[in-house]
């Protein structure tokens, strides 16, 4: 019983990260389960099954707090479901290890770009216009395919690409991607059942993850509705950089010791960028206050 309670708490933490930043539920939950001693196969199966319920709760919570653009959900979610079903049904046996390194490298660069863009205060450009359907459809298809065949990736691919496109603000990006992920999770789960058949499912672990995630979903959606756009972007950039640096270093066979040195250096660099952003945002706020006072004086 204590183990299930711990797993439920870990599920809450994973959903809090994913619901706030639009990514990393799979990475966070799977890593946490492995730490508790659960085998990789059981951890992967539990996370994928639990996501069906957690994504539904997350989508409804984001809708409740006004974080969802339903046009984006429809245009990215339906192709995402098709890509996920196809990947789970027909391509689940295909090795994507070599491709995952290229995807990780691309997402790492996107993470650096997003971090630099938001940390320097260039946020206005991220709220201009609206993403076109001809952009959202292929994005959903690719993100859904990668998610099903690679064991995760919907959030990192969809959220990061939408943010870097400059056509949707971070709050609606996170909310819309989280809501659309429900369609992707259902399609992938059906595809795995069709392609692999029913096996012994760890229902206790799935239930614990599900309960923890559902309880955390409203808090994550509320945080997104309250957090400043700038800091959402900075947080997304950090998660992309750390998770994809890990994938790259492990794929290239770098030893554990040097890997942790690199992680430490990345965190120190991120902290320096955040400190710079805090300083510049304070100056920007003071300049805005001075300008407002001058305008009042002229009235």
Q: Which of 44-48, 79-83, 220-224, 286-290 has the lowest mean pLDDT?
A: 286-290
Q: Residues 209-225: pLDDT tens digits?
A: 888 888 888 888 888 77
- Is the model more confident about 54 or about 89? 54
SS3 78: helix
- In the prediction, which pLDDT does 180 show? 92
Report, as an integer, the average pLDDT of 75-99.
Answer: 75
Q: Which of 171-175, 202-206, 214-218, 263-267 has the lowest mean pLDDT?
A: 202-206
Residue 77 confidence class, pLDDT cut points 50, 70, 90: very high
Q: Residues 193-213: pLDDT tens digits?
A: 776 556 656 778 888 888 888
pTM (2 decimals)?
0.69
Given a contact cutoff of 8 angstroms between Cβ atoms, the answer to whether 274 and 234 are in contact is yes
Residue 100 confidence class, pLDDT cut points 50, 70, 90: low
- pLDDT at residue 73 greater than cutoff 90: yes
- Is the model more confident about 201 or about 131? 131
Collect all residues with Cβ–Cβ distance below 8 Å to 45 and sequence separation of at least 6: 199, 201, 202
Report, as an integer, the average pLDDT of 79-103.
Answer: 71
Domain ranges of the chain: 2-253, 255-299
- pLDDT at residue 46 greater than cutoff 50: yes
- In the prediction, which pLDDT does 286 show? 44
SS3 155: helix
- pLDDT at residue 79 greater than cutoff 90: yes
Collect all residues with Cβ–Cβ distance below 8 Å to 108 and sequence separation of at least 6: 240, 241, 244, 245, 248
- In the prediction, which pLDDT does 76 show? 94
- In the prediction, which pLDDT does 195 show? 62
């Amino acid at each position: 019983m204590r183990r299930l309670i711990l797993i439920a708490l870990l599920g809450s933490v994973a959903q809090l990260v994913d619901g706030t930043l639009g990514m990393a539920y799979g990475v966070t939950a799977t890593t946490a389960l492995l730490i508790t001693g659960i085998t990789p196969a059981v951890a992967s199966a539990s996370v994928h099954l639990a996501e069906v319920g957690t994504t539904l709760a997350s989508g409804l919570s984001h809708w409740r707090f006004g974080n969802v653009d339903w046009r984006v959900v429809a245009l990215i979610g339906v192709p995402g479901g098709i890509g996920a079903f196809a990947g789970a049904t027909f391509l689940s046996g295909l090795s994507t290890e070599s491709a995952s390194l290229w995807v990780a490298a691309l997402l790492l660069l996107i993470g650096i770009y997003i971090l630099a863009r938001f940390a320097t205060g260039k946020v206005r450009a991220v709220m201009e216009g609206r993403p076109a359907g001809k952009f959202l459809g292929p994005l959903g298809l690719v993100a859904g395919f990668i998610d099903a065949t690679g064991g995760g990736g919907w959030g990192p691919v969809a959220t990061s690409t939408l943010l870097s496109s400059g056509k949707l603000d971070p709050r609606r990006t996170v909310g819309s991607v989280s809501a659309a992920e429900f369609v992707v999770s259902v399609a992938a789960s059906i595809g795995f059942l069709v392609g692999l058949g029913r096996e012994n499912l760890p229902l206790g672990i799935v239930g614990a993850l599900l309960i923890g995630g559902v309880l955390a979903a409203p808090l994550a959606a509320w945080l997104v509705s309250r957090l400043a756009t700038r800091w959402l972007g900075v947080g997304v950039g950090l998660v992309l950089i750390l998770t994809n640096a890990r994938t790259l270093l492990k794929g290239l066979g770098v030893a554990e010791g040097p890997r942790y040195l690199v992680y430490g250096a990345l965190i120190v660099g991120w902290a320096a960028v955040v400190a710079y952003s805090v300083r510049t945002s304070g100056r920007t706020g003071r300049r805005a206050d001075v300008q407002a006072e001058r305008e009042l004086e002229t009235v």
